[in-house]
Amino acid sequence: NTSALIPMASSLIEWARAGGAKWSASLEVRSDGSRGRGVFATAPIQKGDLLLRLPMSMAVRPCGRLKDMVAKGSCSPLLALALTVVHELNVRSPQTSVYFADLASAPPPDIPALWEAEELEHIVGTNLLPSTKTPAEAIDASRTTFEEDVLPIMETVGEEYLPKAVRTQALFGAALAWVTSRALQGRLSFEQGAASLWPYLKADGPSTSLNGGNGMFLLPLFDLLNHSSESKDRCTTLARVDGDGKADGHAADALEMRAERSVAANEEILHS
Task: Provide mean pLDDT across the span 216-243.
Answer: 88
Q: Are 44 and 263 in contact (CB under 8 A)?
A: yes
Binned at pLDDT 50, 70 and 90, residue 94 comes out as: low
3-state DSSP call for residue 216? coil
Q: What is the dihedral of CA 106, 32, 12, 222, to 10 degrees?
A: 90
Q: Are 61 and 219 in contact (CB under 8 A)?
A: no
Q: How many residues does the chain have?
A: 272
Q: What are phi and psi of 171, to 5 degrees?
A: -70, -40
Radius of gyration of the chain from its Cα atoms, rounded to whole angstroms? 19
Task: Provide mean pLDDT across the span 133-149.
Answer: 96
* Cα–Cα distance for residue pair 181/18, rounded to 1 Å: 26
Which alpha helices (H) appear in 5-150, and where do they start and end? Answer: 6-18, 64-72, 77-90, 97-104, 117-120, 135-145
3-state DSSP call for residue 184? strand
The residues pairing with 54 across neighbouring beta strands, listed in sequence order, are: 255
pLDDT digits (tens, 9 = 90+) for 187-229: 788 888 888 899 999 988 766 655 545 578 999 889 889 988 8
Q: 104 versus 144: which is more confidently predicted?
A: 144
pLDDT digits (tens, 9 = 90+) for 4-13: 456 678 888 9
What's the pTM value of the predicted model, to 2 decimals?
A: 0.87
* Cα–Cα distance for residue pair 263/111, rounded to 1 Å: 32
* Cα–Cα distance for residue pair 24/263, rounded to 1 Å: 13
- DSSP state for residue 133 in the 8-state scheme: S
Ramachandran region of residue 65, left (φ > 0), alpha (ψ -120 to 50) or beta?
alpha
Q: What is the dihedral of CA 165, 4, 45, 270, to 10 degrees?
A: 50
Q: Are 75 and 69 in contact (CB under 8 A)?
A: yes
Task: Provide mean pLDDT across the span 33-39.
Answer: 78
Task: Provide mean pLDDT across the span 17-32.
Answer: 91
Average pLDDT, the chain: 88
Task: Provide mean pLDDT across the span 172-188.
Answer: 91
